[in-house]
Chain A
Amino acid sequence: MKKLSKKTVVIVGGGLAAGLVSRQLTAQGIDVLVLERGVDHREGAEAQLPSQRDELRWDVRQGLIQNWARETYTARHSSAETAVPMRWIEAFLPGEGIGGAGNHWNGHTWRWGEHEPRLRSYYLERYGKDAVPAHMPLQDWGVNYAEMEPYHELFEKLFGLSGRAGNIAGLRQPGGNPFEAPRRSEYPQKPLEATEAGLIFEAAATKMGYHPFPIPAANSSGAYTNPDGQKLGACQYCGHCERFICEAQAKASPQQLLYPMLRQRKGFEIRTDAHVLGVDYDRRTQRATGVRYLDLKTGLSYEQPAEVVVLAAFTMSNTKLLLTGGIGQPYDPATRKGVVGKNFCYQVNGGVDIFMKDRVFNPFMATGCTGIAIDDFNNDNFDHRGLGFLGGSIIAANQFGGRPIKSRRVPPGTPAWGTAWKKANADWYNHAMSLSILGSCYPDHDNYLSLDPQHTDAFGQPLVRMTFDFRRNEQRMADYTGHKMLDIAQAIGGDALGPLNVQVSPFDARRYQSTHITGGTVMGADPHTSVVSPHLQHWDAQNLFVVGASVYDHNSSYNPTGPLAALALRLGDDLLRYVKSPGRL
């Protein structure tokens, strides 16, 4: 294996987190090498008209998604079962290529609840010492919202978010989300246009005393130039956001706003088709000495020494690299000791369809973020005493694109084929909307990641094994918030309602739910219960850092991008300090 010349900072995974860390470091002249297993998509069919508008190729056949033939995951619902490989995954969709999952994301960009980084402490203070069940290892992150706020602010300006503030420095703002964490300023751009479905939901929710607001979006409501001079075009509402690359450069994405700029900077390098095989760890000195990777274009493997190694890959890969590298104690659900792989969480999802023959929705005019939401039943915005669960859901009317293979709604009782099926599609495609819940998922002692003892990937390495199901807390939460959603749907009325779909257990890999899987390399102030420190520094290797949703101790109802980006920018600044003066941060 050829040994290459040493780099100051080597980052595994060329997605959003790596792009933001690199932005901070290269601005101060620190050299950075990013290793990305995929390609640069910008010149491909996926990023150009007309081939970009191909639901079959990019959505149904997952053209931008991790190649499961090369690497998938095994799954089981509890540690009492034997896991089998998920040979094709619909449930969640890791990306490949420069930009990572930031290429094919919807664009929903939330700051999480102000109390979420100290969620355990918050619940104990609010509901008493028995508030958190024994099987739920909720824990504080060791960082607070106020420390992250400036980085949220920076990220939102870099990505030109479209939205409407609800809480500027503690002052309620009309039309915004009254439950949001305090912001220092308004969103950089006005909200996206609302759809007919959004307006119908907004009217019903307002009438019921709730507080609807436009979902904060990275889909650009206008032409925008960010503080780095990088530009976004105005969104065309083409209905091809999630699972697609935006060919109009209107969906803020790392491959649009970060990597082209970084490539102009001295000291930045990104190598594509570079699949990282492992982190080299010197147990004696407790240091990562570098990484090994396979160049997929040549079949040659390289050893890449580094002063600092940052893991910024997808949740699963960050955890896998620590487990295969023997770095940190793997989590054991029997003893509840060990840390690597623990607190693996997902996200709760449910919905209901509403059929209204006299309303026209044009479902194909949409973005990944055209939605109106309420947070009245989210987080701890409602009293949980006596409810038997913690957490909550966003309730929203989203319209994502009406793409015809997968986004047709027909009333209950419609046959699955034949003339009556065609008639129902003709009658209702343009006359149906839906409401959805997107809910939190808190950790459980038996939800964790480990290495599969039996199955391997194309490189001969163990697959990551996912032991997961939605447990009682999540099922109860889905039932409760789902029925609140149903109340709104019934208030909207219409000619027919679809069934209330809030059954979240058993976890089903055959159905898309959300790409937001979190945990496995969690952060915290206690080395006995966390993998990395509040500064994302590995407890057992001071020059190894981990960033991404894998550091979350729980998952929120809010999508993970906001805090992920804030933590990545903060890590970039922390690494400036570390490189100048290595040591515990």
Chain B
Amino acid sequence: MPHLSHACEPARRGFFKQLALASSALPLVAGSTLGLASPAQAAPTAEAMLPDPWLAYQSFSAGEAAFVEALVNIMCPADAYTPAGVDCGLAVYIDRQLAGSFGQGDRRYRQGPFDPGKPQFGWQFPLTPEQFFKAGVAAANAELKRRGKAALDQLPTPDADAFLHELAAGQVQVDGLDLGVWFNELVYPLFTEACFSDPIYGGNNGKVFWKLIGYPGLPATHALDIVQFRGKPYPGGSKPMSIADFS
């Protein structure tokens, strides 16, 4: 099982709720006083050195923000490999994607008529990805409530993690909304993009996930390297460069 002891620290969640409620014009900056480092942590993280790139959420309500922050902190707990998901920028990434052209369904075919189709041909309803995302958040919390449980962000971490695994297994439908499709075809891809895309999109803060795997990023001019480092570790993997480093 993943190491989850720092996944959903209440103080952190509270801060982001306040943040989401605050005026988006205010340049809010998460301070180091809110850091997650605790004596119980097995290995130090690089969190203290990471900048906080976000100002405020563009798409999420306070409740949606709490859900997504809990989700990314469960899926990316603070551990020896990376800081917690929120601190890696994963929630900010998802928020910005949903607020932007992807979330608005910019390049998706969205004309009617709408009829049910086989899963292999993709979702067949008129919602934008942003609307679908939010409908899924509401449905997931509604399902928890139906079971007599708290909203995802209030659940003990192991319970929340187990619930996400249930969603991924395609076992939960709420009023016809298939939370398996929602999780596997929308939420999970956004999560991995948030981890591994270029940091200009708000996730992969400090290139932590590129460092994790040893992806060197830019400029990727490897004409000589491919011979010199064939079968050998490439030193650039520990010092990745991103688009911003060349801009």
Contact = CB atoms under 8 A, between A and B. Distances in A.
Interface of A: 49-51, 53-56, 60-62, 67-69, 71-72, 75, 77, 81-82, 84-88, 193-196, 199, 234-240, 359-360, 362, 364-365, 402, 404-405, 408, 415-423, 425-426, 429-430, 454-456, 506-510
A362 B234 contact: yes
Nearest to B203: A56
Given A237-B226, A362-B233, A421-B2, 19 more contacts: A50-B245, A53-B220, A55-B196, A55-B198, A69-B109, A72-B109, A85-B109, A193-B230, A196-B230, A360-B231, A404-B210, A404-B213, A417-B76, A417-B164, A418-B161, A422-B81, A429-B215, A455-B113, A507-B120
Contact of A50 (B105, B189, B192, B219): B219
B219 A234 contact: no
Interface of B: 1-4, 74-77, 79-82, 102, 105-111, 113, 115-124, 161, 164, 168, 185, 188-189, 191-193, 196-198, 201, 209-210, 212-223, 225-227, 229-234, 237, 243, 245-247
Contacts of A199: 230-231
Contacts of A426: 81, 212-214
B158 to A, nearest CB: 11
A86 B117 CA distance: 10
B223 A235 contact: yes
A456 B111 contact: yes
A415 B192 CA distance: 13
Contacts of B185: 510
A425 B192 CA distance: 12
19 contacts: A53-B243, A56-B201, A62-B107, A68-B109, A69-B110, A88-B109, A236-B221, A239-B222, A240-B220, A360-B233, A364-B222, A365-B222, A365-B229, A402-B215, A404-B215, A417-B191, A418-B74, A506-B118, A509-B122
Q: Which of B213, B245, B246 has the most CB of A within 10 A?
A: B213
A542 B225 CA distance: 54
A467 to B, nearest CB: 12
A86 B231 contact: no
A408 B213 contact: yes
A454 B191 CA distance: 36
Nearest to A237: B222
A500 B232 CA distance: 28
Nearest to A235: B223
Contacts of B222: 236-239, 364-365
A404 B209 contact: yes
A87 B77 contact: no
8 nearest interchain CB pairs? Answer: A418-B2, A84-B117, A429-B213, A417-B75, A50-B246, A238-B220, A404-B196, A56-B197
